[in-house]
Amino acid sequence: MRALGRHVLAEFYGCSPDILNDTVLIEQVMVKAALEAGAEVREVIFHKFAPQGVSGVVVISESHLAIHSWPEFGYAAVDVFTCGTTVDPWVSCYYLKRHFAAERMAAKEIKRGIFELNETKKGFAPQKSAV
């Protein structure tokens, strides 16, 4: 079986509240995490909530990285979804763990778009896209 993408759902605990509430810093770290994994960054959007918290997305050619932070709990929920075989989502996750000063990371990987080999032979192979 072949998967179109790998989706890592990561939770970061015991992070620095100051980091998790700094929109500019989170954006820089998320973009760098994508680049470290070999991704090509396309679009970036981040939003600061009042009184605290940041959400944002880094759109990459290979899919995306997304974050939602709760500085008051030292917690961040992150998705790293990559398509193809050239970008390893775990590289981004470990980069984020270090740069968020997280005490602990809990993460799991889900394969997305799983196809049987015989489906390809029947003409059901997915088309390549820029995403």
- State which amino acid sits at residue 78: V
* Residues 6 or more apart whose Cβ sits within 8 Å of residue 48: 21, 23, 54
What is the predicted pLDDT for the residue at 116? Answer: 72
**Candidates 16, 55, 61, 68; catalytic one:** 68
Q: Is 93 a catalytic residue?
A: no
Domain boundaries, the chain: 2-114
Helices 89-99, 23-36: axis angle to 10 degrees equals 140
- Percent pLDDT > 70 in the chain is 88
2 falls in which pLDDT band (50, 70, 90)? confident
Question: Is residue 89 over pLDDT 50?
Answer: yes
What is the predicted pLDDT for the residue at 117? Answer: 55
- Contact yes or no for 92/37 (Cβ under 8 A): yes
pTM across the whole model: 0.86
131 falls in which pLDDT band (50, 70, 90)? very low
**Candidates 83, 92, 93, 99; catalytic one:** 83
Question: Is residue 42 over pLDDT 80?
Answer: yes
How far is it, in rounded angstroms, from Cα 63 to Cα 131? 5
**Candidates 7, 63, 92, 93; catalytic one:** 63
Superfamily of the domain at 2-114: S-adenosylmethionine decarboxylase (3.60.90.10)
Backbone angles phi, psi at 87, to 5 degrees: -115, 125
Q: Is 63 a catalytic residue?
A: yes
